[in-house]
């Protein structure tokens, strides 16, 4: 009986080690973006969407964070969660494409229509990414994000809003904790933007 328990314990430990190793070897980070409740605030609005990376330091990981995410290749896997609890795996992206897809989902969730050709729209939304950095300090993941949204129309009028924030989470399970804080902060930061208010200002 004792031998049997030892074998079971050893087998469980081996399975856990394999699972941890498998998770650590993935070269991407999974982000769960939670859409807010749907609305019709942007119904009838056609808008082009661009992402401009104006960060002074375009490295997402700090030196300390790189030690824990050695295999990360700057690829993000996006899962979009809906208000009804359902979720869809959308795809894998680099940072600019990831943010563009997330903001597109947000605009369409409010009834807007994102047009790829800016010449066919009256409004253009530009997201200037100013900071996006993941760090580890005293066994805590710390994520900072900052951007400025600018909505313009052919008339030349521009409405702007700046959004910035940070979050921290105790580093217990390594990569899974990093993905958790990423999803939480990106969701909060994207959903903070009052796009309907920007349209009213122009």
Chain position carrying tokens 């609305």? 39
Going from the C-alpha of 95 to that of each of 17, 23, 28, 78, 101, the distances in angstroms are 30, 21, 11, 11, 10
Query: Which residues does residue 80 pair with via DSSP β-bridges, in sequence order?
Result: 33, 88
Quick check: 14 pLDDT over 60?
Answer: no
Residue 19 has a pLDDT of 44
Superfamily of 2-201 according to CATH? ABC-type transport auxiliary lipoprotein component (3.40.50.10610)
d(CA 96, CA 159): 22
DSSP assigned state of 50: E
Higher pLDDT, 171 or 76: 76
Tell me whether residue 98 is exposed, middle or buried, using C-beta atoms within 10 angstroms of its C-beta: 0 to 12, 13 to 18, 19 or more.
buried
Average pLDDT, the chain: 88
* pLDDT digits 0-9 by tens, 66-116: 999 999 999 999 999 998 889 999 999 999 999 999 999 999 999 999 998
Tokens of 190: 């994207």
Choose among 201, 163, 37: nearest CA to 110: 37
Residue 120 has a pLDDT of 79
Count of Cβ atoms closer than 10 Å to residue 181 Cβ: 20
Choose among 202, 181, 201, 160: nearest CA to 69: 181
Report the alpha-carbon angle 87-92-97, nearest 5.
Answer: 105
Tell me whether residue 81 is exposed, middle or buried, using C-beta atoms within 10 angstroms of its C-beta: 0 to 12, 13 to 18, 19 or more.
middle
Tokens of 189: 């930061």
Tokens of 95: 């940072």
**What pTM does this model have?**
0.85
pLDDT grade for 5, boundaries at 50, 70 and 90: very low
What is the SS3 assignment for 119-160?
HHCCEEEEEEEEEEEEEEECCEEEEEEEEEEEEEECCCCEEE
Helix (H, G, I), strand (E, B) or coil at 84: coil
């Amino acid at each position: 009986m004792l031998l049997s328990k030892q074998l079971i314990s050893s087998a469980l430990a081996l399975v856990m080690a394999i699972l941890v190793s498998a998770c650590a070897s993935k070269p991407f980070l999974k982000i769960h973006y939670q859409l807010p409740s749907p609305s019709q605030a942007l119904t009838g609005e056609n808008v082009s969407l661009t992402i401009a990376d104006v960060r002074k330091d375009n490295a997402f990981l700090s030196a300390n964070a790189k030690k824990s995410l050695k295999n990360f290749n700057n690829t993000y896997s996006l899962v979009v969660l809906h208000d009804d609890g359902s979720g869809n795996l959308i795809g894998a992206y680099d940072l600019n494409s990831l943010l563009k897809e997330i903001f597109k989902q947000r605009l369409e969730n409010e009834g807007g229509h994102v047009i790829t050709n800016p010449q066919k729209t009256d409004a253009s939304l530009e997201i200037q990414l100013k900071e996006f950095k993941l760090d580890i300090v005293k066994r805590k993941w710390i994520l900072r994000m900052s951007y400025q949204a600018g909505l313009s129309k052919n008339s030349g009028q521009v409405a702007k809003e700046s959004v910035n924030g940070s979050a921290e989470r105790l580093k217990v399970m390594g990569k899974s904790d990093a993905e958790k804080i990423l999803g939480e902060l990106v969701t909060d930061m994207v959903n903070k933007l009052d796009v309907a208010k920007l349209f009213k200002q122009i």
